[in-house]
């Protein structure tokens, strides 16, 4: 479904991804793990470019439009399903059917009573729920998330991640927590300094091994020397 | 090899060399420009003007109020219309045709548009509205496209392949809303100035009464108009409330002068026949070539040189004045003296350059000098205002052990502001050129003088050719300025 072979990515003069070869099949739930700055977001956007129209994307800064309501922010997931006129009219007055659908999603995410407020009045955790709402409302088979539950407490993050992964066949998610990575995903890809340093089925690694990837771990030195 | 040499030179000396080049050109321009002193004793006239300024008086208040109403109505309706059109066009700015269209309509000054439409619709609301609406649409298109382009792409990436208008309306436009609004607000002030200036070519705005009063030497009455205009500009923030805008628009439509019925066949004849030389309409291409060649040599060539000379001299004067003015309006540099500096800059940037030029013309007589002074003072004031804001913003991150007094200015603030200063100045370059050309309507030998004379002789073909040439020069300067800014690594400011 997604395939990269010996790919690299530069931001200006700096190379942020080196020699990436990876294959992701439909039905896989992949967690991207590694310390911040390892290249998780870059790899995610490189994969996203392969099929932008079919992916429900939940980027890191949550991409919310602060001056519009929570309803409109979730509705944005449906923009590609409707024409301009329909979308413009919805901006003036929400369609009743769409409002029902959006409010069901919002209920499931625990922000059912916030539909009329705007995201700038919400907490970080609530904003992430709105962003997830938009991704869910895209109704795509593939979900891409960049630390989509990082502002939620562990129990809530756990619950929402199950919800979102349950609604999508395939998922690639950059994740900040070793526990969540092991519990919810079928495959773990570890990144350090812009290179893939590990790629395992989730049931073959232990929590300690995953945690060491996040803290930089013993392999950091080796990777540095290899450059 | 050359790259290595260049890297050994400090940024400051590179920018200083660039500035030096412009100063040399400006000095040469002063010899090319048609500069004369017609009045041996300007002080007497200046005294009378000064006396008028402190004794403003207007006999007929309703008349002045109506002119004020017209000034605001033209500006408000034109900005409302052009902002909407500009926003719409900005969505298609990736199309070359939209970019070229926007660049060409904004390269012609409001006064030239006004002179052109006057031939069809006379001194009517249609002429006044279109004269502002058309160039402003071009400006809004470009600046809105720049603002929208700077928004993070992440929001739109979450939409999948939504249709273009939906992507803009849901994602980019609401994200950029505060910036868009503050730009429209700034442009409204510019539109008030343009609207007032259109009075100089006869439209019923404040400029009309100002010119009439000046012509008759009634300086108290001229001052009354000027003060009313300054109060108008200074108080925009107080009365232009977002919630009241629909009310103001309704009032503006009500207050507009008469709109003549659109005579389609007359308009059609104007754009298909009147604007083109007779030879071209006969299909005689050789005679057409000769006609354009003759007009180019007799009118366009001397007008272009004069316009360029005024532009270059005014550009450098603007820069010098901006650097002299701005420290006095920055709290970090002058502390408690700031309010005086601020007030001065408010006055300088609010008075339309044409009004300033008119006053200088009364003092020095008609030559390039009043135009250069007026453009320098007005644009210097505007750039200084932006630099002073920049300096105050930067003050928050300056070290507590920064030098004090004049050394703070010369060693720290001036070098820090200099790249922004040059970027702003280059950004104003094409604006100054457009205004230099326009100043000709006062009788200064730039393009506007030739345009105005051609209209007076009812030679629309010649006037139109001159306007197109002014537009071409403007587009060349615009692209030159962009290239220079990019090569010197100066970030483009939005204004």
> What digits encode the pLDDT tens for the residues B150-198?
888 888 888 888 899 999 999 999 999 989 998 999 899 999 999 999 9
Q: What is the mean pLDDT of residues B71-82?
A: 96
Mean pLDDT, rounded, of chain B:
88
Task: Tell me if B165 and A67 make a contact (CB, 8 A cut-off).
Answer: no
Query: A44-48, B36-40, B113-117, B313-317 — which is least confidently predicted?
Result: B36-40
Any chain B CB within 8 A of the CB of A59? yes
DSSP assignment letter at A9: E
Considering the domain architecture, whether residues B166 and B309 belong to the same structural domain is answered as no
Question: B3 lies in a domain?
Answer: no
Task: Tell me if A76 and B171 make a contact (CB, 8 A cut-off).
Answer: yes
Neighbours of B452 (CB within 10 A): 21
Considering the domain architecture, whether residues B36 and B90 belong to the same structural domain is answered as no
CA distance B215 to B344: 26
> What digits encode the pLDDT tens for the residues B421-441?
998 899 899 999 999 999 999
Considering the domain architecture, whether residues B259 and B390 belong to the same structural domain is answered as no
Q: What is the mean pLDDT of residues B436-455?
A: 92
- Give the domain range for residue A31: 2-226
- pLDDT bucket at B15, cuts 50 / 70 / 90: confident
Question: B256 lies in a domain?
Answer: yes
Identify the pLDDT of residue A63. 84
> Which CA distances in Å does A19 have to A9, A49, A196, B182, B259?
9, 17, 8, 46, 68
Higher per-residue confidence, A217 vs B478:
B478
pTM assigned to the model: 0.85
Identify the pLDDT of residue A217. 56
CA distance B254 to B73: 9
Chain A residue with CA closest to B167: the answer is A79
Torsion of CA B417, B423, B424, B429, to 10 degrees: 140
Please state the domain count of chain A. Answer: 1
Q: Is the pLDDT of residue B257 over 90?
A: no
> Which CA distances in Å does A78 have to A73, A168, A226?
10, 16, 46
- pLDDT bucket at B40, cuts 50 / 70 / 90: low
Identify the pLDDT of residue B373. 94
Identify the pLDDT of residue A216. 66
Please state the domain count of chain B. Answer: 2
Q: Is the pLDDT of residue B493 over 70?
A: no
Q: Is the pLDDT of residue A223 over 50?
A: no
Considering the domain architecture, whether residues B68 and B175 belong to the same structural domain is answered as yes
Question: B4 lies in a domain?
Answer: no
Considering the domain architecture, whether residues B85 and B186 belong to the same structural domain is answered as yes
CATH of the domain at A24: 3.40.50.300
Task: Tell me if A65 and B170 make a contact (CB, 8 A cut-off).
Answer: yes
Task: Tell me if B170 and A79 make a contact (CB, 8 A cut-off).
Answer: yes
Q: What are phi and psi of A177, to 5 degrees?
A: -120, 125
Counted residue by residue, chain B has a size of 495
> What digits encode the pLDDT tens for the residues B329-367?
888 888 778 888 888 888 888 888 888 898 888 888 888
What does the block give as tokens for B294? 């003759």
Identify the pLDDT of residue B370. 92
For residue B153, the distance in angstroms to the closest alpha carbon of chain A comes to 9
Chain B residue with CA closest to A78: the answer is B159
- pLDDT bucket at A66, cuts 50 / 70 / 90: confident
Q: What is the mean pLDDT of residues B47-67?
A: 87
Q: What are phi and psi of B473, to 5 degrees?
A: -60, -40
The shortest CB-CB distance from B158 to any of A63, A66, A72 is to A63
Considering the domain architecture, whether residues B64 and B111 belong to the same structural domain is answered as yes
Chains A, B: CB contacts under 8 A, how many? 79
> What digits encode the pLDDT tens for the residues A1-26?
888 888 888 887 788 888 888 889 89
> Which residues from A are below 8 Å from B157, CB to CB?
48, 52, 57, 59, 63
Task: Tell me if B159 and A77 make a contact (CB, 8 A cut-off).
Answer: yes
Q: Is the pLDDT of residue A225 over 60?
A: no
Question: Is the Cβ–Cβ distance between B19 and B348 less than 8 Å?
Answer: no
Could you tell me whether strands A142-146 and A14-24 are parallel, antiparallel, or unpaired per DSSP bridges? unpaired
Higher per-residue confidence, B45 vs A29:
A29
The shortest CB-CB distance from A80 to any of B154, B155, B160 is to B160
Task: Tell me if B166 and A84 make a contact (CB, 8 A cut-off).
Answer: yes
Task: Tell me if B152 and A68 make a contact (CB, 8 A cut-off).
Answer: no
Domain boundary among B239, B263, B287: B263
Question: B241 lies in a domain?
Answer: yes
> What digits encode the pLDDT tens for the residues B217-240?
888 999 999 899 989 988 888 888
Say which residues have a Cβ less than 8 Å from residue B29's Cβ, sequence separation at least 6.
Answer: B308, B309, B310, B311, B312, B313
Task: Tell me if A79 and B160 make a contact (CB, 8 A cut-off).
Answer: yes
Identify the pLDDT of residue A224. 39
Q: Is the pLDDT of residue B416 over 90?
A: no
Which of B325, B375, B383 shows the shortest CA–CA distance to B354? B375
Mean pLDDT, rounded, of chain A:
86
CA distance B205 to B68: 7
Identify the pLDDT of residue B2. 46
Cα angle B235, B331, B346; round to 5: 25
Question: B6 lies in a domain?
Answer: no
Say which residues have a Cβ less than 8 Å from residue B86's Cβ, sequence separation at least 6.
Answer: B136, B137, B138, B139, B140, B141, B143, B144
Question: B51 lies in a domain?
Answer: no
Chain A residue with CA closest to B153: the answer is A63
Q: Is the pLDDT of residue A220 over 60?
A: no
For tokens 């939005």, what's the residue? B494
Q: What are phi and psi of B109, to 5 degrees?
A: -70, 150
For residue A77, the distance in angstroms to the closest alpha carbon of chain B comes to 6
Judged by DSSP in three states, A172 sits in: strand
Identify the pLDDT of residue A222. 39
Could you tell me whether strands A170-174 and A142-146 are parallel, antiparallel, or unpaired per DSSP bridges? parallel
CATH of the domain at B300: 1.10.3720.10
DSSP string, B185-198: HHHHHHHHHHHHHH
Considering the domain architecture, whether residues B382 and B317 belong to the same structural domain is answered as yes
Interface mutation target, options A45, A54, A63, chain B, most CBs of B under 10 Å: A63
Chain B residue with CA closest to A67: the answer is B174
For residue B89, the distance in angstroms to the closest alpha carbon of chain A comes to 16
Torsion of CA B463, B465, B468, B474, to 10 degrees: -80
- Give the domain range for residue B431: 11-40+275-495
Highest mean pLDDT among A54-68, B410-424, B438-452: B438-452
Q: Is the pLDDT of residue B139 over 70?
A: yes
Question: B47 lies in a domain?
Answer: no
Chain A residue with CA closest to B152: the answer is A63
Question: Is the Cβ–Cβ distance between B144 and B86 less than 8 Å?
Answer: yes
Q: What is the mean pLDDT of residues B367-395?
A: 90
> What digits encode the pLDDT tens for the residues B243-255?
899 999 999 999 8
Considering the domain architecture, whether residues B297 and B254 belong to the same structural domain is answered as no
Domain boundary among B217, B238, B263: B263
What does the block give as tokens for B307? 């316009």
Considering the domain architecture, whether residues B106 and B241 belong to the same structural domain is answered as yes
Considering the domain architecture, whether residues B382 and B356 belong to the same structural domain is answered as yes
Domain boundary among B263, B288, B317: B263
Identify the pLDDT of residue B435. 94
Q: Is the pLDDT of residue B5 over 60?
A: no
Identify the pLDDT of residue B340. 82
Question: B5 lies in a domain?
Answer: no
> What is the spatial order of strands in the sheet that A170-174 belongs to?
A55-58, A142-146, A170-174, A29-33, A187-192, A195-201
Considering the domain architecture, whether residues B479 and B396 belong to the same structural domain is answered as yes
For residue A190, the distance in angstroms to the closest alpha carbon of chain B comes to 24
Considering the domain architecture, whether residues B105 and B194 belong to the same structural domain is answered as yes
> Which residues from B are below 8 Å from A56, CB to CB?
158, 160
């Amino acid at each position: 479904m997604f395939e990269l072979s010996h790919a690299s990515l530069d931001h200006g003069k700096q190379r942020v991804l080196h020699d990436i070869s990876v294959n992701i099949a439909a039905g896989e739930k992949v967690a991207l793990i590694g310390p911040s700055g390892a290249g998780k977001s870059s790899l995610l956007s490189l994969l996203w470019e392969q099929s932008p129209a079919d992916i429900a994307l939940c980027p890191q800064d949550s991409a919310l439009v602060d001056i519009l309501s929570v309803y409109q922010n979730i509705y944005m997931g449906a923009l590609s399903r409707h024409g301009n006129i329909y979308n413009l009219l919805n901006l003036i007055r929400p369609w009743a059917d769409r409002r029902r659908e959006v409010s069901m999603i919002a209920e499931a995410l625990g922000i059912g009573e916030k539909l009329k407020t705007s995201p700038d009045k919400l907490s970080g955790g609530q904003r992430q729920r709105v962003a997830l709402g938009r991704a869910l409302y895209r109704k795509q088979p593939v979900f891409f998330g960049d630390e989509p539950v990082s502002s939620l407490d562990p129990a809530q993050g756990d619950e929402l991640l199950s919800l979102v992964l349950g609604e999508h066949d395939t998922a690639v998610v950059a994740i900040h927590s070793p526990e969540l990575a092991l519990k919810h995903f079928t495959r773990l890809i570890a990144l350090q300094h812009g290179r893939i340093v590990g790629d395992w089925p989730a049931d073959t690694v232990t929590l300690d091994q995953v945690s060491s990837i996040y803290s930089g771990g013993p392999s950091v030195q080796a990777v540095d020397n290899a450059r | 090899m050359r790259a290595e040499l260049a890297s050994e030179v400090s940024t400051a000396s590179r920018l200083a060399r660039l500035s030096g080049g412009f100063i040399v050109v400006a000095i040469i321009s002063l010899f090319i420009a048609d500069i004369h002193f017609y009045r041996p004793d300007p002080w007497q006239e200046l005294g009378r003007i000064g006396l008028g300024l402190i004794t403003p008086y207007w006999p007929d208040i309703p008349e002045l109020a109506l002119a004020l109403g017209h000034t605001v109505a033209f500006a408000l309706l034109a900005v409302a219309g052009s902002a909407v059109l500009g926003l719409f066009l900005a969505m298609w700015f990736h199309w070359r045709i939209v970019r070229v269209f926007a660049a060409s309509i904004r390269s012609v000054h409001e006064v030239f548009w006004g002179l052109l439409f006057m031939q069809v619709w006379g001194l009517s609301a249609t002429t006044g509205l279109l004269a502002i609406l058309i160039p402003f649409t071009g400006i809004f298109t470009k600046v809105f496209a720049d603002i929208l382009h700077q928004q993070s792409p992440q929001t739109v990436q979450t939409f999948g392949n939504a249709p273009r208008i939906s992507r803009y309306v849901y994602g980019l436009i609401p994200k950029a809303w505060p910036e868009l609004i503050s730009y429209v607000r700034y442009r409204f002030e510019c539109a008030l100035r343009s609207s007032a200036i259109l009075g100089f070519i006869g439209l019923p705005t404040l400029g009309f009464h100002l010119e009439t009063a000046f012509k008759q030497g009634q300086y108290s009455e001229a001052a009354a108009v000027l003060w009313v205009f300054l109060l108008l500009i200074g108080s925009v923030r107080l009365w232009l409330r977002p919630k009241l805008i629909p009310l103001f628009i309704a009032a503006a439509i009500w207050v507009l002068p008469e709109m003549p019925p659109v005579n389609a066949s007359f308009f059609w004849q104007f754009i298909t026949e009147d604007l083109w030389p007779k030879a071209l309409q006969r299909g005689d291409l050789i005679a057409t070539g000769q006609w354009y060649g003759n007009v180019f040599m007799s009118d366009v060539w001397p007008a272009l040189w004069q316009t360029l000379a005024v532009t270059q001299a005014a550009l450098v004067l603007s820069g010098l004045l901006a650097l002299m003015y701005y420290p006095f309006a920055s709290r970090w540099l002058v502390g408690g003296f700031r309010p005086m500096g601020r007030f001065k800059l408010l006055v300088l940037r609010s008075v339309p350059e044409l009004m300033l030029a008119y006053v200088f013309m009364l003092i020095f007589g008609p030559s390039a000098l009043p135009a250069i002074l007026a453009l320098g003072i007005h644009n210097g004031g505007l750039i200084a205002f932006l630099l002073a804001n920049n300096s105050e913003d930067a003050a928050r991150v300056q070290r507590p052990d920064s030098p004090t007094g004049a050394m703070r200015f010369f060693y720290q603030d001036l070098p820090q502001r200099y790249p922004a200063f040059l970027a702003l100045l280059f950004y104003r370059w094409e604006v100054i050129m457009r205004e230099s050309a326009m100043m000709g309507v006062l009788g200064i030998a730039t393009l506007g003088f030739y345009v105005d004379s051609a209209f007076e002789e009812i030679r629309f073909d010649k006037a139109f050719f001159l306007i197109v040439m002014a537009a071409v020069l403007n587009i060349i300067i615009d692209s030159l300025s962009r290239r220079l800014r990019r090569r010197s690594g100066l970030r483009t400011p939005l204004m």
